A and B are shown apart, each in its own frame.
Chain A
């Protein structure tokens, strides 16, 4: 759909004004029911030229858009209008992409079900009583529910692109850490955050990636190359590793079955299956959360009612004022993570938690490096279950919520690229296959993801 739309736009066969009028009508209407967007620009900056000429693009709210409110899903940034575009937004606009809105998310990325969004919870379009996943829930709902050609720019720290993509039955690519510039991304955890793309098929994601990826002088950790990802290589003679730790009893049977079916399909296309082990997988969850919370607790310190965002009348000493604003502006999960993150880097605890987790990360990376010596990609389930109902989520303790990330945290911790491919359903709800590859090997993943049109 996207490919044809771009071709038509390029040839002048689509009237942009008429098209975008319809776009606006649809997003306003669907937003009422599904809570996709936090902000919709008053006017679309319609272009028709470029690799994304005339393509509607939605952007997760933690990615800064100049002149358009960017809240990262939090009340403490209500009204924050950045005076600059994130690099990815700049690149999209340069190639003719049209920003149609900022999608809803868990506050600062803190969550697996987008239930921590201060501006309303996005709902799974297949079954609105269920979660759309998180933290990039709004982006996944946009891709899954909007009828016009469109891609969404999302972000992942521990699985925030893969999880909602899995729950909503769409494709979502999380690139290698450092491939895509983080300049303009409102930080969750700086050594873990990656900006990626969600779309209805692998080609759409690849196109988006080709536009946003590559070195950026504004982000000193961005070292990747810009290249064209839309040509997919064949999977014949490639090796698919299947890590045994990802098929434990924690993963539901229906999920395992659907994922195995997909893996067997690769085999029928000429790939070889290899059983591998990633023995430090169980350590990834605590290590991930320790690093994510310690880094994010420093990132959130700047939010104190000075210069931008939520503020109160200036009264009292700075300690009193800062505390009042932060108490009012942060949601419960944010407060919980700030407390833990602050504690785990304090004197006496820093070695036990923060430094230890950084060393565990090395072990997790080494596991993957070893597997990729003999495998081209790894295949596993993305999430241990289908999208849960909101009524079920309400009963979960924080620890149980964190545990839902068990399959996505390890690749995210290692910063390797990964992609969710919708490979089946159970009770009508989508199941996701997770493809992973070594650093900067996105093409290998896309080759497998693009081997057929998976989505029903």
Chain B
């Protein structure tokens, strides 16, 4: 059985970088969120961000880790073209927290993943490799917008056995991190170093894997590669590798024999930290609600079933909040949940968009109006299902949309009766079938009426009218 361990680096959701006041925000223009500190200019000094420390501790809380009340920062020295100082300010001897765990569900079974440590460190610059890939480029271009962005590193024990377990862990972890607002999926990035070994071989590390799909593919490939080598009596080297998503394969970056000695020293430009009990109490009190609590509440307070509660909690970071906001003024909670889960998410799935990416999270009033139009009969359920996509994509309020699309329910009863009369006369065979007892024959006529009225009438009403007309 394979052994897999992870080192996950998550960009924290702060306004500014870890050691300077530059914006913590991606920008397509290179080197605009930069200053002497994150550029590593001689004479500059680091100034640690209090919010980053707070967010780091939040992660420690939700991973059941042992919090260090005392901590300090260290310099980890190594040379690389993306380093602003050729040392990274990180936590070595005393990290934020150690020895936690995170439970996930894999194929219906609970799995506990043990964590080694949680600590803070700074992100290096972003490199663009010119004239090739990492190994074949002619030179690099460096963008320091990313240099100094706060990272939280979460290190697991090698408790994973399969790629499925890793995928389940990452999905749940990222969802939790979004829920407690330490990670903002709209602007923050994460990446992981994946350590893989199989019995009979050495461990190799796949560096900087940036998506769950890539983690899955790279793990599968690596297990296969290593198993294959062991099977044929060949040596599995201890090395650092990189994953190419295009080829789906991992490649050697450097051998572990050239292991770097980081020469750690205490970071003398920062003070030590000793947080009080009061600080941790305030932190605990201000912790956003955990997903499990939300799920429980959705079942209890809104009468939703397990599946509904689960989807609303986990399927998208903005969904739970949106549901709850609507549920305060819209009382048919089951209908609300159903429309969100089946129609809204269904549509978004078909166009490959996430709920949080649309303007929907801000359109509570309009969405409630949309539902109310159906409740009052101004819009049929079928038209609702037709229009939901357009409703999501446009910024229109539902009444305007209904009118624009020409789908307003025809209120004029006389007009409808006229169409029914006209249609009945077009289907003499259906009429005679109905008269001879085939009740279902009336559906042909109803269907034709609906087509003519472009669904702007309620099918039940039409059926009644058709029957009345025939009789």
* Residues in chain A within 8 A of chain B (CB atoms): 63-64, 70, 72, 77, 80, 82-84, 86, 182-187, 189-191, 217-221, 294-295, 297-298, 301-304, 306-309, 314, 318-319, 322, 342, 345-347, 350, 354, 358
A346 touches B45 (CB 8 A): no
Taken together as a complex, chains A and B put the C-alpha atoms of A298 and B46 apart, in Å, by 14
A318 touches B270 (CB 8 A): no
B269 touches A221 (CB 8 A): yes
Contact of A184 among B39, B40, B43, B271 (CB under 8 A): B43
Interface extent on B, as a size class?
A: 20 to 34
* Residues in chain B within 8 A of chain A (CB atoms): 36, 39-48, 75, 77, 79-81, 84-87, 139, 142, 261, 263-266, 268-271
Identify the closest chain B residue to A344 (Cβ): B263
Taken together as a complex, chains A and B put the C-alpha atoms of A297 and B264 apart, in Å, by 11
Q: A298-B263, A322-B79 are in contact. Are A70 and B43 (CB under 8 A)?
A: yes
Contact of A298 among B80, B265, B271 (CB under 8 A): B265
A306 touches B36 (CB 8 A): no
Taken together as a complex, chains A and B put the C-alpha atoms of A297 and B39 apart, in Å, by 19
**Chain B: interface secondary structure?**
loop
Q: A221-B268, A346-B261 are in contact. Are A301 and B43 (CB under 8 A)?
A: no
A350 touches B86 (CB 8 A): no
Taken together as a complex, chains A and B put the C-alpha atoms of A258 and B135 apart, in Å, by 67
Taken together as a complex, chains A and B put the C-alpha atoms of A232 and B266 apart, in Å, by 38
Q: A302-B40, A306-B142, A314-B139 are in contact. Are A217 and B47 (CB under 8 A)?
A: yes
CB-CB < 8 A to B263: which residues of A?
Answer: 297-298, 342, 345-346, 350
Taken together as a complex, chains A and B put the C-alpha atoms of A79 and B265 apart, in Å, by 30
CB-CB < 8 A to B265: which residues of A?
Answer: 294-295, 298, 345, 354
CB-CB < 8 A to A301: which residues of B?
Answer: 77, 79, 85-87
Instruction: Give 24 A-B contacts (CB < 8 Å), ordered by A residue.
Output: A64-B43, A70-B42, A72-B42, A80-B42, A82-B42, A84-B36, A84-B44, A86-B43, A183-B43, A187-B42, A191-B268, A219-B269, A220-B46, A220-B48, A220-B269, A221-B268, A294-B265, A306-B81, A307-B39, A309-B42, A318-B79, A345-B264, A346-B263, A350-B264
A218 touches B43 (CB 8 A): no
Contact of A190 among B80, B81, B86, B268 (CB under 8 A): B268
Taken together as a complex, chains A and B put the C-alpha atoms of A427 and B271 apart, in Å, by 47
CB of B394 to closest CB in A, whole Å = 47
Taken together as a complex, chains A and B put the C-alpha atoms of A301 and B263 apart, in Å, by 12
CB-CB < 8 A to A345: which residues of B?
Answer: 77, 263-265
Task: List the 5 closest A-B pairs by CB distance, nearest first.
Answer: A301-B86, A190-B268, A64-B43, A191-B268, A345-B263
Identify the closest chain A residue to B40 (Cβ): A302
CB of A312 to closest CB in B, whole Å = 13
Contact of B268 among A63, A295, A319, A346 (CB under 8 A): A295
Q: A318-B79, A346-B261 are in contact. Are A302 and B84 (CB under 8 A)?
A: yes
CB-CB < 8 A to A350: which residues of B?
Answer: 263-264
CB of A202 to closest CB in B, whole Å = 29
CB of A191 to closest CB in B, whole Å = 4
CB-CB < 8 A to B39: which residues of A?
Answer: 307
CB-CB < 8 A to A219: which residues of B?
Answer: 45, 269
CB of A63 to closest CB in B, whole Å = 8
* Additional 4 contacts, C-beta under 8 A, given A220-B47, A220-B269, A298-B265: A84-B41, A218-B45, A220-B271, A309-B42
CB-CB < 8 A to A297: which residues of B?
Answer: 263
CB-CB < 8 A to B41: which residues of A?
Answer: 82-84, 307-308
Identify the closest chain A residue to B46 (Cβ): A220
CB-CB < 8 A to A303: which residues of B?
Answer: 42
Taken together as a complex, chains A and B put the C-alpha atoms of A189 and B81 apart, in Å, by 24
B86 touches A302 (CB 8 A): yes
CB-CB < 8 A to B261: which residues of A?
Answer: 346-347
Taken together as a complex, chains A and B put the C-alpha atoms of A358 and B93 apart, in Å, by 15
CB-CB < 8 A to B266: which residues of A?
Answer: 358
Taken together as a complex, chains A and B put the C-alpha atoms of A301 and B85 apart, in Å, by 7
B42 touches A83 (CB 8 A): no
Q: A191-B268, A350-B263 are in contact. Are A304 and B43 (CB under 8 A)?
A: no
Q: A298-B77, A308-B41, A347-B261 are in contact. Are A82 and B36 (CB under 8 A)?
A: yes
B79 touches A185 (CB 8 A): no
Taken together as a complex, chains A and B put the C-alpha atoms of A220 and B264 apart, in Å, by 21
The listed residue with most A CB atoms (<10 A of its CB), out of B43, B47, B81, B86, is B43
Taken together as a complex, chains A and B put the C-alpha atoms of A182 and B270 apart, in Å, by 12
CB of A177 to closest CB in B, whole Å = 10
Identify the closest chain A residue to B42 (Cβ): A186
B269 touches A190 (CB 8 A): yes
B42 touches A183 (CB 8 A): no
Q: A301-B79, A346-B261 are in contact. Are A182 and B85 (CB under 8 A)?
A: no
Taken together as a complex, chains A and B put the C-alpha atoms of A183 and B42 apart, in Å, by 10
Taken together as a complex, chains A and B put the C-alpha atoms of A301 and B83 apart, in Å, by 10
Taken together as a complex, chains A and B put the C-alpha atoms of A259 and B188 apart, in Å, by 64
The listed residue with most A CB atoms (<10 A of its CB), out of B40, B42, B261, B265, is B42
CB of A301 to closest CB in B, whole Å = 4
B45 touches A82 (CB 8 A): no
CB of B237 to closest CB in A, whole Å = 21
Taken together as a complex, chains A and B put the C-alpha atoms of A83 and B42 apart, in Å, by 11
Taken together as a complex, chains A and B put the C-alpha atoms of A324 and B450 apart, in Å, by 81
Contact of A218 among B40, B47, B77 (CB under 8 A): B47
